[in-house]
Structure 1
Amino acid sequence: MSFFESLLVLLAAAVLLLQVSRRLKAPYPALLAAAGVCFALVPGLPKISMEPHTALALFLAPVLVDAAFDFPVADVRKMWRPLFALAIVAVILSAAAVAWLGVAMVGLPIAAALALGAIVAPPDAAAATAILTSVRLPRGSVAVLKGESLLNDASALLLFSAALAFQARGGIDAALAVKLTLAAPGGVILGIVLARVLRFVNPFVTGTLGGNMAEFVACFGAWIIAERLGLSAVLCLVAFAMTIARTAGLRTPPRMRIHSFAVWTSSVFLLNVLAFLLMGLQARTIVADMPRDRLMEAAVFAAAVVGCLVVVRMVWVLTYIRLSQIFPRLRGDAYPTPSLRHGVLVGWCGMRGLVTLATAFALPADFPQRDLIVLTAFAVVLATLVLQGLTLSPLVHLLGLDGENGLDEELARTRADMAGAALKALEGKTGAAADHWRYRFAAVPTTIPTRAGELEARRTLGLKALRRQRERLEELRDSQAVGADAFLVLQEELDFEEVSISREDERQIEEN
């Protein structure tokens, strides 16, 4: 079986498994990773390998840009204290605890133990937020989780780089210490500079299909430049995407933005699917090459690492919340004191995912105890996705945190404000065109509904009217009263109109 045929089989199986995971309400990454192990048993499948740095760039760069683009800089400023506690302190504590376990339980060298700690330390908050799409959470908690996922990758990869350098050099000298110290601020500065440079290029490609290609070229190019300069590629991409999102709003045509979001969402999802499948294939090879006694030792060690990670995160989150209740400056002034219930929820959102897999992929082939480290990372991802992923939604209900999150009211209030601004812009304008738009914007509700039922009633009535328009358009097409070109244009208009009145969760295409 050729590589292309094997890849096609893997993707076809992934489509089937995604349907199974949705019906079972199970995290799809866990099923995909387990399927990868099973696929490795199929005779004729070629061995799929990837150069370590290529794996990191391919699987991480687009994910980081996609997430950072949607995360506002203002939230980082408001929540920098809890973000620092989760993305920096929690990662360091988790990595240190796992490194100690590695040395004490299986005799890992210091560098290998630090590398393992860095690999499994950062939770993938994207996995948590994907699972939590079925419930309504306080948006402050969701924002903290999303912000953590952006920044903890940077701290973990810096630790990972330090561990690799420690192993290669046999220690850390002054030059390496300076390099690691400058990596974080240098990465941020580089990302901002590259985003400013891209502003001058965008006008030439905006509104074209080549513009989407340019976005991916810029994404991978920024990662490679940061890597070549010895800077934090993660922070470079986070700063790069946030700067673009902050400055590109009015410069980007709506059609380009809609198309770009669709392309990036599909691309990132495909990379997630491939990463979990490939990790499963690699894990099966490692298991097959391990002696039975060594495999049992690895299983016990992996279970200990999972337990350690869960306990360390939960204890630190609850400790931080308690300290923030005593010392308000620890939480900042933008948000009220988080409750212990919120702390339990955030502490339980410790599923590991793509970052852990991609970093494990990136270990050099001759790295000490690589097989044990990769297998442990794989086990941690599977265990946390199953253990925490399957219990997260029930935990939300148990803690009484599900309910209205205030988004609908905020949307209605902002729409009314925007409509008022539009009406002011039309003041003094006369004629049929001005009357048309004045009527259109005046129809936007200027009062905020007090009950969610009022919002839902408006949506239901609008969707019913649009449905009848679609049926009539189909009838006209079938009777050849409207041609194919006109049909496609009108169908697209109805699509945009329906999306505009749908709920936020109905506009998004999610697997969980």
Structure 2
Amino acid sequence: MEAGIFYVLVGAVAVAAFARWRGWPAPLLVTVVALAASFLPIVPDLPIDGHLLLGLVLPPLLYSAALDVSFVGFKRSLPQIRRLGIWLVLLTALAVGLVAWWILPSLTLPGALLLGAIVAPPDAVSAAAIGRRLGLPRRIMTVLSGESLINDATSLTLYRVFAAILAGATLTVWDGVWQFLVAVGVGVAVGLVFGIVLHQLRMRISDPVVIGTFGLLAPFGAYGIAEHLLGSGVLAVVAMGLYVGFNAPRTDYTTRQQEAPLWLSADLLLESFVFAYIGLQFPRVLRDLSSESVGRILLLSLAVLVVVLLVRPLYIYPTSAWANFQDRRRLARMDRGIASGEFDERRRRSRRWRQYSADELRTQIVRERMAGLQLTWKDNAVISWAGMRGVVTLAIAVAAADLATLDTEASHAIVVVAFIVTVGTLLLQGLTLPLLIRRLGIRGDAEHAEDEAALEAVKAKSREAGKEYLAQKRVEWEQKHGAVDLSVFDAFTKRMTRVEKDTDEAQRVEDTSSRPSFDDLVALSKGWLQVRREILVAERDAGNLDEEVMRELLTAMDAEELAMDTRGATRQQGRV
């Protein structure tokens, strides 16, 4: 068993590495290769407990995804994310359940709804990989990523409810709603506690290896404790990841440099294994079917696949149009209030709104609360077709097969339907999504222009803040080192962050007794970098700079600081 898992891991990572080298979607290729390899007699059978698969794979994948999601963008797109991550999951589960109950009555209605909950949540891993490669706009990527972060919680809560009903519990609709509210409240609370503690550790411990280890353990702890308290482990991990990711720019640069490749490697390993497992298990579950039920179950599988493909666009387009209509009505009411002066009075009474003028507040509200206006019919087409199922559907199906309340035919039906829907959506939607994106001509070119404008504004603020910082430091240097060394300081001011040249000029100053040390120059450079970081974070928090752009700039600044520390360590070794 252990050797088989190791061979699958090595093979899956090798296939994924080849796909990345060729620029292909790795999850799709891994699934196809594993599906083909599963018919070979030398390939081992890997029966894995579904609960174990969920507990080991889901927390780190969710945490890594949440770290990369822009919290500001997530908050702006929350109406769309909520519609997809909660209401679409509920509708899909209901539609699939009714169709499954009609085709295979032996499932019973609770069992059919259990199947609907299993196949309802899409997995954005494949869609995100394709979107990044083809340059999808961030507004679409944020919605897809945000949906994948919360729809698993909705699906798992529904799974608990219907599993309890199958076990004989008597639950009303209000009981189900209460369970969902408890899952959300407890999960978010546990996640925030873990996030705050982990962030404080990141701020106080300078060893990136220790912090990286804590980061690897924290998702499992948050998930396990939240589930033990009847909360949502998924939301706990997501809340922790969003909190830690949002505050990551305030931590030491070594922590960011350590965790980025760590989580990229973990994602590659776990995703490769999961999609390989999907492909390897498919023939086995088909062999478990009895000859008299295989036809009905395959018919049910195809029907459920069609339902999950159709429900998504049939839900997205009307709800998006209604949301846009409501947004336009709110904007019209706001404009009438501004024209009549009523809005100014409301603004003055609000402590939060008081800082903005009427026009500035209108822009702020459009930016924060009316992001639905940003999605066009082309955007909705991509989102509608990005409904590939993945690890959660597979793991819950394997766990559901062990429920004692399901008969043999029902348990086999649930597993087969889940596998066919997962593999079918991965291949059908995953292979055609790039073509759809290219045909619609959706790219983030307009966002690049907005980024450039935002960068120019940030650079202007950065220059002003830098001038104030350098003016203050110039006075301190003159008092400490004397006027003879101001030439060194002025050279640094021109070069800003080029420590090497400044150090060479410092070595040419004849008065070595009062010459600024290398450590003085490094401290000045690090202070300058810190001023620039604070400007970036402030602009991000104000919504003036996209988080992805901020992270790219932070990465460049981190590289500068690493170069300074490396040079300092080399000089120190040279003295020993």
Q: Kindly state the Cα deviation for residue 134 of structure 1 after the two structures are TM-superposed.
A: 2.6
Q: Report the Cα distance in structure 1 between the residues aligned to 2:414 and 2:268, rounded to whole angstroms.
A: 26
Q: C-alpha deviations, 1:30-83, integer Å up to 9, x for none? A: 333344344444446554333332211111101111111222333333222212
Q: Deviations over 1:124-162 (max 9, x none)?
A: 223212112232333212211111111111111111121
Alpha carbons of structure 1 residues 86 and 428: separation in structure 2 relative to 1, 3 Å: same
| 2:267 match | 268
TM superposition shift of 1:10: 2.0
Matches within 5 A, 1:169-208: 169-172=168-171, 178-202=178-202, 205-208=205-208
User: 8 Å contact 1:59–1:358 — kept in the other structure?
Assistant: no
Other-structure match for 2:482: none
**Is 1:422 the equivalent of 2:466?**
yes
Which moved further from structure 2: 114-123 or 296-305?
A: 296-305
CA displacement, residues 237-274 of structure 1 (integer Å, 9 cap, x when unaligned): 11111222233432x22122111111111112211111
Select the residue among 407, 421, 424 that pairs with 1:383.
Answer: 424
Aligned to 1:409: 452
Tell me: CA distance 1:99–1:432, structure 2 relative to 1, closer, same or farther (3 Å). farther
Name the SS of the counterpart of 1:426 in structure 2: helix
Residue 350 of structure 1 aligns to a residue in which SS?
A: coil
- How far did residue 92 of structure 1 move? 0.9
Amino acid in the other structure paired with 2:471: E
- Alpha-carbon distance in 2 for matches of 1:65, 1:410: 32
- The residue number in structure 1 matching 2:230 is 230
**Aligned position for 1:371:** 412
Stretch deviating more after TM superposition (220-229 or 366-375): 366-375
Aligned CA RMSD, in angstroms, stands at 3.1
Percent identity reads 30
Are the equivalent residues in 2 in contact too, given 1:26–1:389 (CA < 8 A)? no
Query: Closer, same or farther in 2 for the Cα pair 1:48/1:410, shift >3 Å?
Result: farther
Q: State the Cα deviation string for residues 459-509 of structure 1 (Å, max 9, x = none).
A: xxxxxxxxxxxxxxxxxxxxxxxxxxx9xx68x99xxxxxxxxxxxxxxxx
Q: 1:350 to 1:321 in 2, by over 3 A?
A: same
Q: Which residue of 2 aligns with 1:52?
A: 50
Given the two structures, how large is their TM-score scaled by the length of structure 1?
A: 0.79
Is 1:336 aligned with 2:336?
no
Offset, 1:188: 0.9
Following TM superposition, by how much is the alpha carbon of 1:23 offset from its aligned partner in structure 2, in angstroms?
A: 7.5
Q: Which residue of 2 aligns with 1:150?
A: 149
More helix by share: 2
SS at match of 1:336: helix
Alpha-carbon spacing, 1:115–1:31, altered in 2? closer, same or farther (3 Å): farther
The match for 2:110 is 111
Alignment-mate amino acid for residue 270 of structure 2: L
In 2, Cα distance between equivalents of 1:306 and 1:291: 21
Q: Please give the per-residue CA displacement for 1:195-216, whole angstroms capped at 9, x wherever unaligned.
A: 2233444456442422212112
What is the rounded CA distance, in whole Å, between the counterparts of 2:463 and 2:261 in structure 1? 27
* Structure 2: gaps spanning 5 or more residues: 331-365, 475-485, 499-528, 530-562, 571-576
CA contact (8 A) 1:99 1:110 kept: yes
Name 2:490's counterpart in structure 1: 435
Please list the CA deviations of residues 316-368 of structure 1 after superposition, one character each: whole Å capped at 9, or x if unmatched: 11111221232226994345353222221211111112222232233252452
Which amino acid in 1 is paired with 2:242? M
SS at match of 2:207: coil
After TM superposition, the structure 1 stretch with the greater mean CA deviation from structure 2, 39-48 or 75-84, is: 39-48
Q: Distance in 1 between matches of 2:432 and 2:40?
A: 32
CA contact (8 A) 1:21 1:31 kept: yes
Structure 1 match to 2:501: none
* Counterpart-to-counterpart distance in 2, 1:349 and 1:34: 18
Aligned counterparts of 1:189 and 1:432: Cα–Cα separation in 2: 55
**Cα gap change, 1:154 to 1:206, in 2 (>3 Å):** farther
**Aligned partner of residue 431 in structure 2, secondary structure:** helix
Map 1:31-70; keep pairs closer than 5 Å.
31-43=29-41, 46-70=44-68
- One-letter amino acid of the structure 1 residue matched with residue 425 of structure 2: T
Q: Please name the residue that 2:95 is paired with.
A: 97
2:76, 2:444 → 1: CA distance?
A: 24
CA contact (8 A) 1:88 1:152 kept: yes
**Contact between 2:378 and 2:440, CA under 8 Å: does it hold in 1?**
yes
The residue number in structure 2 matching 1:476 is none
Instruction: Between the two structures, name the one with larger relative contact order (CA 8 Å, sep ≥ 6).
Output: 1
Q: Corresponding residue for 1:471?
A: none
| Residues 28, 126 of structure 2: 8 Å contact kept | no
Matched, 1:135 2:179: no
CA-CA distance at 1:284 after TM superposition = 2.4
Q: Tell me how far apart the structure 2 counterparts of residues 92 and 234 of structure 1 sit (CA, whole Å).
A: 17
User: Aligned partner of 2:225: which letter?
Assistant: I
For residues 54 and 420 of structure 1, the distance between their equivalents in structure 2, rounded to whole angstroms, comes to 54
- Cα distance between partner residues in 1 of 2:416 and 2:489: 66
1:118 & 1:247 partners in 2: Cα distance?
Answer: 34
Find the aligned partners of 2:489 and 2:156 in 1 and give their Cα distance.
56
1:245 pairs with 2:245: yes
